[in-house]
Homo-oligomer: A and B are copies of this chain.
Amino acid sequence: MQVRIIGITHVPEVHLGADLAGLILSACESGDTPLVEGDVLVVTQKIVSKAEGALVDLDTVTPSPFAEQWAVRWGKDPRQIEVVLRESVRIVRMDKGIIISETRHGFVCANAGVDASNVPGEHIVGLLPEDPDASAARIRERVRDATGLDVPVIISDSFGRAWRNGIINIAVGVSGLAPLKDFRGQRDTHGYMMSATVIAVADEIASAAELVMGKLENCPVAIVRGYPYDRAEGSAREIVIDPARDMFR
């Protein structure tokens, strides 16, 4: 079995209101890799946020006293801290200059997903899309309208992890595939019953896509070709752990 991860590099600079699906389809054609049945599209959060205007001009932000004192203490921009707090519904950890919080989507990540890199203009920071599942669904629908293909879409972002250095790509938005693959109760090749095997395939697909997306290159989209995903409406919220089961609140 073989899966191919194809980087799509011909996507132009994305502006507010851009037709992302259209830009992506043109870029796939320009790169001589038109979409085919069975493909999964992985789209980085950055261009989704730009197209949707999920950006904040720090010059318009008045920091609260709480944001101000934290910023002063740790040498941060108080306006940026203010944006992080506004994007957070709950602080999980706040120490050593780092804020790890829960976003309104239920994601736990550093800085509530607020991203100071890769946005042109020094005072603009990027936010997570308002509803990344809906963003994914819109791209999927537009691709279906244009091509007749029902291609699942994953919106990816890079998150840090507890206990491990470095960030990895994960799925913040999903449409068209089951983000979790459940093997519980199935038997493996040795007849052994698997008790606790649910695989977060949407996260693994997002990580695989990062291998071609890189960080310095202009490659905001990847095609994952040949992966036998389970078709479903899907939602990145399925990957968010139930608070009752969360041992790291």
Contacts and interface: CB of A to CB of B under 8 A. Distances in A.
A168 B216 contact: no
Interface stretch (A58-66, A81-89, A136-144, A155-163): A155-163
A200 B118 contact: no
A200 B7 contact: no
Interface stretch (A18-26, A127-135, A145-153, A203-211): A203-211
B219 A199 contact: no
A166 B180 contact: yes
A1 interface: yes
Interface residues of A, number: 75
Interface in A196-223: 196-201, 203-205, 207-208, 210-212, 214-219
Interface of A: 1-7, 9, 93, 95-96, 98, 100, 107-108, 110, 116-120, 158, 161-170, 179-181, 183, 186-190, 192-201, 203-205, 207-208, 210-212, 214-219, 224, 227, 238-241, 245-248
